[in-house]
Amino acid sequence: MNVLILYFSGTGNTKAVAEEFYHALILRDYSVEVHSMEDKFNPAIYPYDFLIVGFPKYYEYPVLYALDYLDHNLKKRGQVIPTLAYCTQAGHSLTDFSGLERLLRKKNHRLITSKSLPYANNLLIFSMFGSTTPEVLKENKRILKSQIDPLLDDFFLGKECKERVAWFRSILYHFTAVVFTKFMPIAGMKYSSSEECIGCKICACNCPKKEYKDGSE
């Protein structure tokens, strides 16, 4: 049986969780492929029987980049594909997976498991969550390891275990995510990584994402 793991990870947390799933699946004798969504991997070329998708929570919602990637790259399958989705996050609130579930349904993938996994906050910019101490990170990892096997047990048995949020939160979080995803990069132009920044924009011009246009603030 083949399992495909697709993840998006900005600072490494979601990738670390994908690797935990990978090792747990190998121990269960599954064939597993792991790909970052940023590799532009085409899932249609791998004949998977199960799908695992992972992404961080941005602005209280699954990062829109991941939803967009899945919408464009998952092909509708002949057989129903059981899917497990996880979301890493700095806080402890539940995540709204309903948009993802609708998207998966269109592609004949069935969401069986959806789970939020609190993990270290790597970005000091989100100081409201506080930076994560090594002790907290160690505890995050310990809890994560204890969660993987029970999650997989239920998933392979087809036992549904899905997080839900109230409908009004679902609308609010989606709206917030759309607005913030659009405007935060503009606000972010004013941030610098250290006090030595003189605003010369060399880093922006050499950004591998190549999204910087000279003249924009």
Q: Does 99 bind ligand FMN (CB under 6 A)?
A: no
Looking at residues 55 to 94 of the shown chain, list those that interact with ligand FMN (rule: CB under 6 A): 56-60, 88-91
Number of residues engaging ligand FMN in binding (CB under 6 A): 20
Q: For ligand FMN, which is the closer residue by CB, 114 or 121?
A: 121
Q: Does 96 bind ligand FMN (CB under 6 A)?
A: no
CA distances from 70 to 22, 27, 152, 166, 216 (A): 20, 27, 22, 24, 30
Q: Does 140 bind ligand FMN (CB under 6 A)?
A: no
C-alpha–C-alpha distance, residues 78 and 109, integer Å = 10
Phi-psi region of 7 (alpha: psi -120 to 50; beta: other; left: phi over 0): beta
Structure letter (DSSP) for residue 22: H
Instruction: Pick one of 109, 121, 144, 156: the residue that binds ligand FMN (CB under 6 A).
Output: 121
Q: Does 11 bind ligand FMN (CB under 6 A)?
A: yes
Q: Does 126 bind ligand FMN (CB under 6 A)?
A: yes
Which residues, in sequence order, are CB contacts of 69 under 8 Å at separation 6+?
A: 6, 8, 37
Specify which residues 85 forms β-bridges with: 53, 114
Looking at residues 20 to 59 of the shown chain, list those that interact with ligand FMN (rule: CB under 6 A): 56-59
Q: Determine how many CB atoms are found less than 10 A away from the CB of residue 144.
A: 18
Q: For ligand FMN, which is the closer residue by CB, 13 or 113?
A: 13
> Minimum Å distance from CB 160 to ligand FMN?
24
> Minimum Å distance from CB 45 to ligand FMN?
25
Strands 61-62 and 50-58: antiparallel
Q: Does 119 bind ligand FMN (CB under 6 A)?
A: yes
Instruction: Pick one of 1, 123, 166, 186: the residue that binds ligand FMN (CB under 6 A).
Output: 123
Containing 171, the helix (H) or strand (E) segment is helix 167-188
Q: Which of 96, 95, 114, 4 is nearest to 49 (CA)?
A: 4
Stretch in the footprint of ligand FMN (CB under 6 A) among 6-14, 19-27, 70-78, 189-197: 6-14
Contact residues toward ligand FMN (CB under 6 A) are: 9-14, 56-60, 88-91, 119, 121-123, 126
